[in-house]
Amino acid sequence: MKTFFRYLRHYAVWLAACFVLLFGQAMSDLSLPSLMSDIVNVGIQQGGIEETAPQALSLNAMTLMRTFMSQDDQKLADQQYTRITAGSSQAADYKTKYPLVNTEDIYIRKSGATKQLGAAFGRAAMTFANFMKDYAQQSGQNTASSPTTEGLDKIDLSPLYKMQPLLNQMPPAAFDKARQSTDQLDDSLLEQVGVVMVRQFYKELGVDTGKIRMDYIVRTGFLMVLLTLAGAVATILVSLISARIAADIARRMRRDVFTKVESFVNAEFDQFSTASLITRTTNDVTQVQMLLVMGIRMICYAPIMGVGGIIMAVNKSPSMSWIIAVAVLILIGLISIVFVVAMPKFKQVQKLVDRLNLVTREHLSGMMVIRAFGTQKFEENRFDKANKDLTSVHLFVNRVMVLMMPVMMLLLNGISLVIVWVGAHQIEAAAIQVGDMVAFTQYAIQIIFSFLMIAIMFIMVPRAVVSVSRIEEVLNTKPTILDPEAPKTLGDHPTGRIEFHNVSFRYAGAEDDVLHDISFTAEPGGTTAFIGSTGSGKSTLINLIPRFYDVTKGKILIDGVDIRELSQHDLREMIGFIPQKGILFSGDIASNLRYGRRDATDQEIHLAAEIAQATEFVSSTPQGMNNPISQGGSNVSGGQKQRLAIARALVKKPPIFIFDDSFSALDFKTDASLRRALKEHTGQSTVLIVAQRVGTIMNAEQIIVLDEGRIVGKGRHKELLETCETYREIAASQMTKEELA
């Protein structure tokens, strides 16, 4: 995962911006249920009145409330309220807001009222309600089954004011029982009673309480709309940023993997199959991209919502917090089960994708062989098995996901029912308000969906981790062939003289060398040919020159400089390599010929095609040099591919040409014509040819005969016929005595 975080650190600022936006969105989303609760509790039930301590009340109302206050609460009320005399200059400032001040004295609350003042009025209002209930019972009225607060919102204050002289004559002990009952009640109930009384006081003052309700609902609703819009903007911005980060990291990963693979030589390709490298460059990178697109949001947002939802729910109703605790425990258990069951399967998915790609690639590339041997059914069975194995794993994972969703919804609905059941009983007992239960339900839903997002991440992260590990395997692979720290150069005009000094080579993991003590010199302007039986080491030997492999012992010099002291780029720039299997790229003929030198002129590519004996078939195509070439050159024959590959190397004009059995698909006439043209064109270049046909190399200045990785003959054609038994046997098997002579 170090590689993954190394990519991420370049986007630290953007990730921090996403976190800030997600935190803001989470706070907005967590605030919405609380605001909805306020609309229900305050806006509807309390008529929009938020404070238990009234901003203003009449002289009679103040006298009544002070009657039911303790001495400490009376002192607090006296400190916080100012008396406004009717008809005074001060009264003129309040006559519009409180019309009663035109005829009666009122009290105005000073600014900066404390929470203690609201509690004092709440206690006074509840003491009053308890006293009135006790008074009604003493008068013979049956009020045992009715709530203490019933009817307070419809009470007429005028008769109560007339009772004030009687209340003033009562001893303080007459209110003790009512105060004791009040002290045993929850603060939320005291607040509700206080608000009911405040609304009555405002009506007495002539205040439009309907407007207060509507203003509060509109104001709170507008705030909810703003928070919703802010959350939507945050969601859009985070989605854009995360998509940009994910796409950019995926692009860089693909580029780095591709660049790394380009630095591989044959030894590294032995570690990874081509199908696996394709999967790692495409499917694995896509898995990481998907994780980033969804993960940047979910990994930050879900925990904040989950933890924040729990805190907000507990604050709304501590008495129902056990419901959340049970739900969280069930969710954690469910996620743990899903993780334990599904995790092993994710480790299999990418390997099965590799296998499917391998079978598909082999089938497509070997189509002609499969048809020739009539093994279509066998290949279908191979593909069907790989396909079914991958499908079964995907089905298993999908079934786990499909099962998890209904379980989550069942849990969500079950918790909602429990909350309504428990909440209804608590509302009846005046322990909570209706809005609090609504908010608690919303928070429970947010918590469950947060854990659902976490569960989804628990499924995505393991698969992405496997993909990251597979990508890291490629990126962390150290090439066996490296450039020197201070590479040498051969100047602007290297001659291309090649010297092998006691070169031996052994493949990684092999017990014996495949080349033994090879020494020879290939001079510029001459042709050095290699011939031998299959497996004698011809192709291995020439693969050492461009450093596709490095020698195990000895050294290879070009113009007197060890090739290991040159940079790989400079070394390969001097070589025109033509493999036995001509590889062409999608495009057209001209783009393929210019592959080694992009600035080649039309005249140069036509000359190269003429030398490579390709002019005839190029001219016969509908568009000539612009004729399309399919991927891999599938729309041209093997001989045509070889000739175009030779022409491609000729356009490059390197000092060294290497032909790895590149004439095998040519007929004898074309072979002879091509070699004559090459001799004229290559001039002072060093030419190395690997061939199976003696006729191809018999005119070479130097022929090296290999047998089991050793040089068993070296010289010209006629010399080798006399001195080398192996060469004589090869020549005799291909040519008549007259041709050999």
CATH number for the domain spanning 447: value is 1.20.1560.10
Is 543 contained in some domain? no
pLDDT at position 192, please?
75
pLDDT at position 236, please?
92
Domain C-terminal end among 160, 188, 207: 207
* Residue 450 shares a structural domain with residue 582: no
* Mean pLDDT confidence for 466-495: 84
* Residue 198 shares a structural domain with residue 228: no
Is 606 contained in some domain? yes
pLDDT for residue 148 is more than 70: no
pLDDT at position 740, please?
62
Q: How far is residue 727's CA from residue 732's CA, in Å, rounded to a whole number?
A: 8
- The Cβ-side half-sphere exposure at 288, using a 13 Å CA radius, reads 30
Domain C-terminal end among 475, 506, 521: 475
Model confidence pLDDT, tens digit, residues 170-223: 877 777 777 787 777 767 677 777 888 888 888 888 888 888 889 889 999 999
Per the structure, how many domains does the chain have? Answer: 3
Contact between 397 and 458 under an 8 Å Cβ cutoff? The reply is: no
* Mean pLDDT confidence for 242-266: 88
* Average pLDDT of every residue of the chain: 83
Q: How far is residue 650's CA from residue 607's CA, in Å, rounded to a whole number?
A: 9
> Could you tell me which residues are beta bridge partners of residue 566?
488
Is 296 contained in some domain? yes
Helix, coil or strand: residue 710: strand
* Mean pLDDT confidence for 233-243: 91
Model confidence pLDDT, tens digit, residues 94-118: 888 889 888 889 999 887 656 788 8
* Residue 176 shares a structural domain with residue 68: yes
pLDDT at position 608, please?
87
pLDDT for residue 599 is more than 50: yes
Domain C-terminal end among 207, 228, 262: 207
pLDDT at position 530, please?
92
* Residue 201 shares a structural domain with residue 224: no
pLDDT at position 453, please?
82
Q: Residue holding tokens 């033509």? A: 578
Q: Tell me how far apart the terminal alpha carbons of the chain are, to the nearest angstrom.
A: 68
Q: How far is residue 356's CA from residue 362's CA, in Å, rounded to a whole number?
A: 10
* Residue 202 shares a structural domain with residue 223: no
Is 679 contained in some domain? no
* Residue 125 shares a structural domain with residue 230: no
* Residue 192 shares a structural domain with residue 321: no
pLDDT at position 145, please?
45
Q: How far is residue 530's CA from residue 169's CA, in Å, rounded to a whole number?
A: 130
pLDDT at position 143, please?
47
The fraction of the chain above a pLDDT of 90, given in percent, is 13
pLDDT at position 146, please?
46
* Residue 173 shares a structural domain with residue 200: yes
* Residue 469 shares a structural domain with residue 611: no
721: tokens are: 């016929």
User: Which of 383-397, 450-464, 585-599 is predicted with the least confidence, judged by mean pLDDT?
Assistant: 450-464
424: tokens are: 């209804």
Most confident of 5-19, 225-239, 254-268, 630-644: 225-239
* Residue 326 shares a structural domain with residue 439: yes
Is 529 contained in some domain? no
For 110, the domain range is: 56-207
Is 184 contained in some domain? yes
Q: Check residues 285 and 275 and name the one with the higher pLDDT.
A: 285
* Mean pLDDT confidence for 597-617: 86
* Residue 335 shares a structural domain with residue 413: yes
Is 523 contained in some domain? no
* Residues in contact with 606: Cβ distance below 8 Å, sequence separation at least 6, in sequence order: 615, 625
Pairing relation of β-strands 702-707 and 527-532? parallel
* Residue 105 shares a structural domain with residue 135: yes
